[in-house]
Amino acid sequence: MSKNVIIFGDSYSTFKGIIPEGYEPYYYPGGYSNGVEKNDVETPEDTWWGQLIPEIGGNLLLNNSWSGSTVGYTGYNNVDCSESSSFIYRFKQLRDAGFFKENKIDTVFVFGGTNDCWCGAPMGELKYEGWTKEDLYSVLPAFSYFLKILTDELKDCKIVAIVNSELGEPFTQSAKTAIEHYGITPVMLEDIDKLTGHPTLKGMTSIKEQILKAL
């Protein structure tokens, strides 16, 4: 595991100027979250991935993270994210543009599900085949579907799925079940220091250390 790394994430993995143009950041230079509230994650090097990738000898090829984004198609206020910010749609955009064929990718980090749990989307139940579009508006079938299309496309990659602390049941255990079903490495976070629900510098360092331990 090394070299070219890509990330699929939400606010916890964003940093202004690093994520794609038009994607919403949470962390800004100088320690501003959402460009307003002050925190101590001041540079890309302070983030969990900014700390981790040099330690594993990696190169960040793409950070595909969007603040507030859900894995599935239901966003905050019941907004339909099936053709905007959802992890599933962003993945399909890259796939259809030939990104995965044109680039050598060695390691993928998936850090999602937090907003799916926070936004009030229906939880649903895990399923491993026969998804309908309607299924993808529910958290658990969308989560397992995303892992399925990811593993199908990136068969030779090391894939690591990170699950936030404090998301409660039934998501946390079901997410771990789905991650292990697809042979993906799970990182089930615990005791992350946060400010307004988001990792501080201490929290970022703890995330990095828990990922390294899981690896």
Which pair of tokens denotes residue 9? Answer: 């994430």
Asked if the model's pLDDT at residue 36 lies above 80, the reply is no
Q: Render the burial of 5-33: b for 16+ CB within 10 Å, e for the rest.
A: bbbbbbbbbbbbebbeeebbbbbbeebbb
Q: What are the φ and ψ backbone dihedral angles of 185, each rounded to 5 degrees?
A: -75, 120
pLDDT in tens, 122-162: 999 999 999 999 999 999 999 999 999 999 999 999 999 99
3-state class (DSSP) for residue 86? coil
What's the count of helices (H) and strands (E) in the chain, helices before strands? 7, 10
23 neighbors 52 (Cβ within 8 angstroms) = no
Q: What are the φ and ψ backbone dihedral angles of 179, each rounded to 5 degrees?
A: -60, -45
pLDDT value of position 1: 47
191 neighbors 198 (Cβ within 8 angstroms) = no
pLDDT value of position 17: 97
**Quick one: average pLDDT of 169-187?**
96
Asked if the model's pLDDT at residue 90 lies above 60, the reply is yes
CA distance 93 to 102: 14
pTM over 0.75: yes
- Half-sphere CA count of 171, side-chain side, radius 13 A: 24
Asked if the model's pLDDT at residue 170 lies above 90, the reply is no
Contacting residues for 190 by C-beta, under 8 A, at least 6 apart: 165, 210
The pairing of strands 3-9 and 58-65 is parallel
Q: How confident is the model at residue 31 (pLDDT cuts 50, 70, 90)?
A: confident
pLDDT in tens, 72-86: 999 999 999 999 999
Q: How confident is the model at residue 35 (pLDDT cuts 50, 70, 90)?
A: low
